[in-house]
Amino acid sequence: MPLLSVEHLTTHLFTDSGVVRAVDGVSFSLDRGEALGIVGESGCGKSMTALSLMRLVPEPPGRIVGGRVLFQLTATGGPVDLLMLSNEQMRKVRGKRLAMIFQEPMTSLNPVFTIGDQIAEAIKLHEGGSRRQVQSRVVDMLSLVGIPTPAQRANDYPHQLSGGMRQRVMIAMALSCRPEILLADEPTTALDVTIQAQILDLLRRLQAEFGMSLVLVTHDLGVVAEVAQRVIVMYAGKIVEQGTVDQIFRQPLHPYTQGLLKAIPPLAKLPPGTRFATIPGTVPDLAHLPRGCAFADRCPKVRENCRENEVPDDPCNVGRLVRCFYASNP
């Protein structure tokens, strides 16, 4: 029984220029202790998927219009659909069972409260305890995420910390109530490369230590390869390919995944005159998606029926989700 199973999750943004299908029937599952990567270009719906799981889609314009998010909340009972919970019940899940960290550590912390206060707020809310108990938990969390002299640092304000330190604080805050699932939305995108590696190490270490599941949303395939066991590739609000890290990186079957992998800049110096590989074109307007496969306009293997028929999960029977009529090795 998976810890979390998402079925046909559909989130729309109701804008002036039409209905944007940000998340369009996404289904996946997550086991206890598993790390799942969600990758895709900007605007493919990966962040919106994570926000939908938390029920934090900005409303308006967004709204979750369909699907189920089944969470195994108790060890014995059946799974609970998070989308059916009352706001009150959902608040008890948020931050306690299901936590999230965000892309921008510079702006994700409230500038007028100390970091200690902000972490303590979550602990007090979900677990209570005396002032001293909460305070010592705060210091423990800060030292756990590798902040030196945590007792003093707890009294610092966010602007006194560097970006990497702030992201550590965000992680400490998210993990302070020992959630079963951590959603990390581009946690390293705003950081420089050496700090990125440190934060990824930290996430991996804490994931193992807490026995926690991790959903890592990123556009960085390198990050996914390093952290995740399974990968979901999203395009235009849909999952186009799903598989283990090995399958995705060694045997990508969807032309979009193949394009993404080719677009990773090589470390070796390019011979003069050659260009970086790119995927031609841009992501289609999600408010006015073409019929059939959304990737058709950019696909090197496109054929007539791609533009006519909705593509099912696995039309070529490769044994995993590859949303392409002509799935094949490159």
Residue 275, amino acid: R
Structure tokens at 9: 């999750």
Exposed/middle/buried for residue 63 (C-beta within 10 Å: 0-12, 13-18, 19+): middle
Whole-number minimum distance, CB 324 to another protein, in Å? 35
Q: Does 128 bind another protein (CB under 8 A)?
A: no
Whole-number minimum distance, CB 56 to another protein, in Å? 6
Contacts of 319 by beta carbon, 8 Å cutoff, 6+ apart: none
How many residues line the site for another protein (CB under 8 A)?
30
SS3 sequence of 283-325: CCCCCCCCCCCCCHHHCCCCCHHHHCCCCCCCCCCCCCCECCC
User: How many Å apart are CA 52 and CA 58, to the nearest integer?
Assistant: 9
Q: Which of 225, 176, 237, 324 is nearest to 47 (CA)?
A: 237
User: How many Å apart are CA 46 and CA 82, to the nearest integer?
Assistant: 19
Q: Does 91 bind another protein (CB under 8 A)?
A: yes
Q: Does 63 bind another protein (CB under 8 A)?
A: no
Q: Does 102 bind another protein (CB under 8 A)?
A: yes
CA angle 212, 30, 19 (to 5 degrees): 120
Whole-number minimum distance, CB 62 to another protein, in Å? 13
User: How many Å apart are CA 143 and CA 168, to the nearest integer?
Assistant: 10
Q: Does 93 bind another protein (CB under 8 A)?
A: yes
Three-class secondary structure of residue 95 per DSSP: coil
User: How many Å apart are CA 325 and CA 305, to the nearest integer?
Assistant: 9
- Taking the least distance from each CB to another protein, the nearer of 20 and 175 is 175
Cα-to-chain-centroid distance, residue 269: 32
- The region of 85-93, 131-139, 192-200, 214-222 touching another protein under the rule CB under 8 A is 85-93
Q: Does 120 bind another protein (CB under 8 A)?
A: no
Q: Does 56 bind another protein (CB under 8 A)?
A: yes
Q: Which of 100, 115, 216, 233 binds another protein (CB under 8 A)?
A: 100
User: How many Å apart are CA 63 and CA 80, to the nearest integer?
Assistant: 20
Whole-number minimum distance, CB 93 to another protein, in Å? 7
Beta carbons of 101 and 171 less than 8 angstroms apart: yes
- Taking the least distance from each CB to another protein, the nearer of 54 and 299 is 54
Q: Which of 175, 172, 170 is nearest to 186 (CA)?
A: 170
Q: Does 157 bind another protein (CB under 8 A)?
A: yes
Distances (CA, A) of 241 to 219, 264, 303: 15, 18, 19
Q: Which of 44, 64, 73, 99 binds another protein (CB under 8 A)?
A: 99
Q: Which of 15, 42, 110, 136 binds another protein (CB under 8 A)?
A: 110
Q: Does 302 bind another protein (CB under 8 A)?
A: no
Beta carbons of 228 and 213 less than 8 angstroms apart: no
Q: Does 80 bind another protein (CB under 8 A)?
A: no
Q: Does 112 bind another protein (CB under 8 A)?
A: yes
Q: Does 127 bind another protein (CB under 8 A)?
A: no
Q: Does 152 bind another protein (CB under 8 A)?
A: no
- The region of 39-47, 99-107, 242-250, 296-304 touching another protein under the rule CB under 8 A is 99-107
Q: Which of 39, 134, 170, 171 binds another protein (CB under 8 A)?
A: 170
- Taking the least distance from each CB to another protein, the nearer of 120 and 139 is 120
Q: Which residues bind another protein (CB under 8 A)?
A: 54, 56, 87, 91-96, 99-100, 102, 104, 107-112, 114, 118, 121-122, 125-126, 157, 159, 170, 173-174
